[in-house]
Amino acid sequence: MTHPYFQGASAPRVLAHRGLVGEDSSVFDNSALAIAAADAAGAEYVETDCRATADGDAVLFHDETLQRLLGDPRPVAEVTTAELVALFAAHGGLLTLADALESFPLLRFNVDVKALAAAGDVGRAAAAHGHRVLLTSFDDRNRRAALEAAAAAGAEVLPASSGGRTAIALLRLASALRLRGWVRRILRGLDAVQIPERFGAVRVFTPALVRAAHDAGVEVHVWTVNDPERMRALVSAGADGIVTDRADVAIKALAPH
């Protein structure tokens, strides 16, 4: 059965990577303004990340520390939510996941659970919105913990799931060897796999992987693609979705003609 996360939405999927920052360098990725810009551009899906603050709140934040955005070496996990709100005030505004889901009720969120400490709050926030949330993580333990928290919080519809690093590596191997039974076991309980085109010298996005995923009813999303010609080529080769920093460009490039 297709998860509600994918029902009634445009295809191919355009997932706005950390929102849409545009030309304003003062606006941080994953900020409220970045999410609002993606929404205004017509994106139906936003890819975002969650980490836990010192208070245990799941906030939209990618990096482990504040260094890249603010020149501050402290880990997010050691900063209070109130201080982070103050630091983000001039840069687009901080959102907790609960804030984001309430503020943008029509958007569908692709949430990368970056830290196990964030999983509980992610699951609780997503519990009432399972039909429009997909949970993922490089570490499948984080994703599973968030799903368990959503279930414990009474979710009527559990969020969709995308497999982590181990699932993707196994799928790449099993699809190359045409081991259909193994593929089915790897993809059991998953609704999508989200992959780069390549990982070092290894091509991850292959015809065999796409076929194997589609045979199991699982979508394939490719990250992070900003060139419109490459977007079109990947969709022609079977990609169901494109994760991009330029959702505005992708929406136009992938519109039906």
Q: CA–CA separation, 3 vs 136, rounded Å? A: 15
Give the chain's end-to-end CA distance (angstroms, integer).
Answer: 29
Q: Give the bridge partners for 78, in sequence order.
A: none
Residue 84 near residue 51, CB atoms below 8 Å: no
In the residue annotation, 17 being an active-site residue is answered as: yes
Of 124, 134, 133, 74, the C-alpha closest to 105 is: 133
Q: Give the bridge partners for 242, in sequence order.
A: 14, 222
H-helix segments, 47-178: 67-70, 81-88, 97-103, 116-126, 140-152, 165-176
In the residue annotation, 62 being an active-site residue is answered as: yes
Query: Which of 62, 91, 129, 221 does the annotation list as catalytic?
Result: 62
Of 14, 187, 192, the C-alpha closest to 108 is: 14
Query: Which of 17, 91, 129, 221 does the annotation list as catalytic?
Result: 17
| Element containing residue 226 per DSSP (H, E) | none
Residue 4 near residue 158, CB atoms below 8 Å: no
- Using the structure block, give the residue that is written with the tokens 């429009």: 132
Enzyme catalytic residues: 17, 62
